[in-house]
């Protein structure tokens, strides 16, 4: 059991209408109970949640929980947004496979009171921080091509690049029964 939730982040899939609808329901529900709600600005814009939109750098600090609404790609995006913070992430399967997600869409609303109360189990997951370098001229420091990227399920490199990875942990959430 975790401490009660005071701040929640929502990460809806950018193109899935059901993810947008679920995010709006969750945002309203949490706000009505005095919980701070944050949504990354780009996702907030397309999901009709602009009042909750924040810049990526302002998303993770102080969050107690993140709810990822999409598939495995959205879950990995949520990990990227909060890493290296140890913020638990609940994945709601609004995708096709949902290998990394914890609940189905119809389970979200019944789960929200338990999420608010901190009544959920957290399982730690491995995260790889990967830096890939291409041979040839060095890219500009801080550009997308030189920033380390984190992934919770792996990384692929070509034979033309060198790769350094570091293992770390992320947290995945599932409401307790």
Q: Domain for residue 56, yes or no?
A: yes
- 160 and 73 belong to one structural domain: no
Count of the separate structural domains present in the chain: 2
Q: Using one digit for the tens of pLDDT, what is the confidence trace for 38-52?
A: 999 999 999 999 999
Which of 87, 106, 123 is the endpoint of a domain?
Answer: 123
pLDDT for the residue 162: 39
- 79 and 148 belong to one structural domain: no
- 82 and 142 belong to one structural domain: no
Which of 84, 108, 123 is the endpoint of a domain?
Answer: 123
- 165 and 82 belong to one structural domain: no
Q: In the annotation, is 72 catalytic?
A: yes
- 155 and 95 belong to one structural domain: no
pLDDT for the residue 140: 61
- 63 and 141 belong to one structural domain: no
- 165 and 135 belong to one structural domain: yes
Q: Domain for residue 45, yes or no?
A: yes
In the numeric block, which tokens belong to residue 48? 């009709």
Q: Where are the alpha helices (DSSP H) in 11-169?
A: 17-32, 41-47, 56-59, 72-82, 105-117
pLDDT tens per residue across all 177 residues of the chain: 667 889 999 999 999 999 999 999 999 999 999 999 999 999 999 999 999 999 989 999 999 999 999 998 898 899 999 988 889 999 999 977 777 778 889 999 999 999 999 888 887 777 666 666 666 666 666 555 544 544 444 444 333 333 343 444 445 556 655
pLDDT for the residue 167: 41
pLDDT for the residue 105: 94
Stated length of the chain: 177
pLDDT for the residue 156: 43
pLDDT for the residue 166: 40
pLDDT for the residue 119: 86
- The residues, any chain, with a CB within 8 Å of residue 165's CB and separated by 6 or more, are 128, 129, 130, 131, 155
In the numeric block, which tokens belong to residue 4? 């009660």
pLDDT for the residue 102: 83
pLDDT for the residue 155: 45
Residue 142 belongs to domain spanning: 126-171
pLDDT for the residue 1: 61
Evaluate whether 72 touches 101 at the Cβ level (below 8 Å).
Answer: yes
Q: Domain for residue 176, yes or no?
A: no
- 107 and 30 belong to one structural domain: yes
- 54 and 140 belong to one structural domain: no
Q: Domain for residue 64, yes or no?
A: yes
pLDDT for the residue 58: 95
Evaluate whether 81 touches 73 at the Cβ level (below 8 Å).
Answer: no
Q: What is the rounded CA–CA span in Å between residue 73 and residue 139?
A: 27
- 14 and 40 belong to one structural domain: yes
One of 64, 72, 119, 124 is an active-site residue; which one?
72
**CATH label of the domain that carries residue 104:** 3.40.50.10330
Q: Domain for residue 177, yes or no?
A: no
- 91 and 143 belong to one structural domain: no
- 70 and 22 belong to one structural domain: yes
């Amino acid at each position: 059991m975790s401490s009660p939730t005071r701040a929640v982040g929502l990460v809806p899939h950018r193109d899935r209408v059901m993810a947008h609808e679920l995010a709006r329901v969750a945002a309203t529900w949490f706000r009505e109970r005095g919980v701070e709600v944050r949504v990354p600005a780009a996702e907030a814009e397309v999901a009709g949640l602009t009042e909750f939109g924040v810049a990526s750098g302002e998303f993770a600090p102080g969050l107690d929980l993140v709810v990822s609404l999409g598939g495995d790609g959205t879950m990995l995006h949520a990990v990227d947004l909060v890493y290296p913070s140890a913020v638990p992430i609940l994945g709601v399967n609004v995708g096709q496979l949902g290998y990394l997600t914890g609940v189905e869409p119809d389970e979200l609303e019944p789960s929200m009171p338990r999420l608010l109360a901190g009544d959920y189990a957290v399982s730690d997951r491995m995260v790889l921080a990967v830096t890939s370098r291409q041979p040839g001229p060095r890219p500009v420091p801080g550009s997308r091509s030189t920033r380390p990227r984190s992934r919770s399920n792996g990384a692929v490199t070509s034979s033309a690049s060198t790769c350094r990875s570091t293992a770390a942990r992320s947290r995945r959430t599932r409401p307790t029964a």
